Structure 1
Amino acid sequence: MRFPGGPRGRAIVFPAHSQAQSAAASVSLEATSDLRARGLSWSGGRAAMAVDASLPLSSDVSIDLGAASLRDSARHGDADIGLTLSPELTLYSGGGWTLSAAATGHVFVGASGLSYGELGTRLSRTIGPARLDLGASFAPSQKAIGGSDLYLEANAAVGIPGTALTVYGGGGYSTGSTRNSALAAMRVQRLRPDGSYWDHYLGVEQQMDRLALGLRYTGTSIGDDLAPGRYRDRHTGSRIAAYLRFTP
């Protein structure tokens, strides 16, 4: 699933894999001990499965599709499955620089009225085995998320020469507005459980032919004393998650 921002979002395409991914359609299946985006668990702190696919339509246009088990996460109204659809347009590519824009729709199966959309742009720079991404995503005011949401992020990845290891990390800042209603005050906690906050992550991944095994640490500036609510849980703090990804 193409999650907004952070390690499972559009942020990182590891340098060793970027050329192959952009040249042809691809699909991957991932199992993880905790599905997280922007430092927040999307699977209630439990193990989850996700499948992602990317379909290039031309040299400048591609469509990303994703699905993930959400384990009845309170964050998304006890949804069973999350789906994403994200067309992306490359605005510029040359000299190691890439500028792109995308629109992403998030659909939550089993939860009524909680699907939402956002727009994003990303500037990427590749230098040898290293890649740096700067991005911004904006979800206009919507009932499903109780208002608007803006996410600013910076991410980096570097392949260790002579090995199949990639080290990656980054962080971001979430902020936005809240609609003036009791329902909005609850739903805004889906993406911002305790108001504006920072998140960060650091991970390492080992590539083994068609398999990739990784460990990822995530953390946020959200306090440990956050009480659970209708659309939020306690899975917002520091966590180390393991994952295994298979790419046919």
Structure 2
Amino acid sequence: MNRFLIPAALSAAAFAAPAAVLAQSASPSVSIEATTDLRERGLSWSDGKAAMSLDATLPLSQSVTVDVSAATLRDSARHGGADLGLDVTPEIALLSSGGWTLSAGAAGHVFVGGAGLSYGEATSRLSYALGPAQLALGASFAPSQKAIGGSNLYLEANAAMSLPGTAFTLYGGGGYSSGSTRDGLQAAERVRRLRPDGSYWDYYLGVERQMDRLALGLRYTGTSVSDDTAPGRYLDRDTGSRISAYLRFTP
């Protein structure tokens, strides 16, 4: 769920951190993260509260990996009071040459305790690495589903740079969410899970310090979602600007 961009050497977690790791490890990896607010596409997924997440990456071949993630959601209204969120994300590298990597995959989002609210997305990503700098463009499309009240398209751009001679990395990016809405009152309520007041922009900027197996980070996130958005069954007020801190451990 965490999809912020951090270089592979920093082993970003898959729940409220970077949009994706651009280079995949040749061996399985796991990381545990504690954050003051679990955010996805600028929206809180933990009801604005502290959360824990775990991410494991399993390379099946040089081009195929499977990422499995779990995070505490703190009875988030956005996901029907779910206690736990699970992600399963297989991905295949279609092309890798000259620093460029093109990949495609799928993401299944399962919400334990949120009946009927799980959904899936198709994903694609084009990334480029040059020295300490990494860039990525991505698209995620969720076909029309009852769980999210319609379809959802997310377009994103991300960048990260390790500062030479230091243990610090700067990263940032943004995205745009849009989509369709099904007919009916329930659909009108559920579509606000991912788009609280219609199509919107999100953006983030972060800094991370690596300390052997620990990483400490600070991240600012914001959105174009109006502060005057009307409340709803699947909506909370944690959609605006927020500075959050996180600590990640990689065994």
Shorter-normalised TM range? over 0.9
Give unpaired runs (5+ residues) of structure 1.
none
Give me the whole-angstrom Cα distance separating, in 2, the residues matched to 1:211 and 1:203: 16
Change (3 A) 1:95 1:224: same
> 2:172 is matched with which residue: 166, 169, 172?
169
Indicate conservation of the 8 Å contact 1:16/1:159, yes or no. no
Indicate conservation of the 8 Å contact 1:227/1:234, yes or no. no
Please tell me the root mean square deviation across aligned C-alpha atoms, in Å: 1.2
Give me the whole-angstrom Cα distance separating, in 2, the residues matched to 1:60 and 1:139: 24
Partner residue, 1:236: 239
Give me the whole-angstrom Cα distance separating, in 2, the residues matched to 1:19 and 1:175: 25
SS in 1 for 2:166: coil
For 1:92-107, what aligned pairs fall within 5 Å after superposition?
92-107=95-110
Partner residue, 1:72: 75
Give me the whole-angstrom Cα distance separating, in 2, the residues matched to 1:20 and 1:182: 43
Give me the whole-angstrom Cα distance separating, in 1, the residues matched to 2:156 and 2:171: 14
SS in 2 for 1:180: coil
> 1:22 is matched with which residue: 22, 25, 29?
25
> 2:213 is matched with which residue: 210, 215, 239?
210
SS in 2 for 1:70: strand
1:158 aligns with 2:151: no
Encode CA deviations 1:187-217: one digit per residue, 9 max, x unaligned.
0000000000000000000000000000000
Give me the whole-angstrom Cα distance separating, in 2, the residues matched to 1:24 and 1:165: 24
Indicate conservation of the 8 Å contact 2:125/2:137, yes or no. yes
> 2:5 is matched with which residue: 12, 34, 41?
12
Equivalent pairs: percent with the same residue?
71
Shift of residue 19 of structure 1? Answer: 8.9
Encode CA deviations 1:114-166: one digit per residue, 9 max, x unaligned.
00000010000000000000000000000000000000000000000000100
Encode CA deviations 1:72-117: one digit per residue, 9 max, x unaligned.
0000000000001011000001110000001000000011100000
Change (3 A) 1:238 1:19: closer
Indicate conservation of the 8 Å contact 1:90/1:101, yes or no. yes
SS in 2 for 1:163: coil
Indicate conservation of the 8 Å contact 2:148/2:193, yes or no. yes
SS in 1 for 2:25: helix
Partner residue, 1:112: 115
Q: TM-score, normalised by structure 1?
A: 0.95
Give me the whole-angstrom Cα distance separating, in 2, the residues matched to 1:30 and 1:115: 23
Indicate conservation of the 8 Å contact 1:15/1:131, yes or no. no
Give me the whole-angstrom Cα distance separating, in 2, the residues matched to 1:121 and 1:20: 14
Give me the whole-angstrom Cα distance separating, in 2, the residues matched to 1:89 and 1:232: 34
Indicate conservation of the 8 Å contact 2:133/2:162, yes or no. yes
Partner residue, 2:18: none
Partner residue, 1:142: 145
1:74 counterpart letter in structure 2: A
Shift of residue 14 of structure 1? Answer: 0.9
Change (3 A) 1:76 1:23: same
1:62 aligns with 2:65: yes
Partner residue, 2:36: 33
2:147 counterpart letter in structure 1: A
Give me the whole-angstrom Cα distance separating, in 1, the residues matched to 2:205 and 2:160: 10
Give me the whole-angstrom Cα distance separating, in 1, the residues matched to 2:140 and 2:41: 12
Which range moves more in the overlay, 150-159 or 218-227? 218-227
Indicate conservation of the 8 Å contact 2:140/2:153, yes or no. yes
Shift of residue 225 of structure 1? Answer: 1.5
> 2:196 is matched with which residue: 193, 196, 199?
193
Indicate conservation of the 8 Å contact 1:15/1:157, yes or no. no
Shift of residue 21 of structure 1? Answer: 4.6
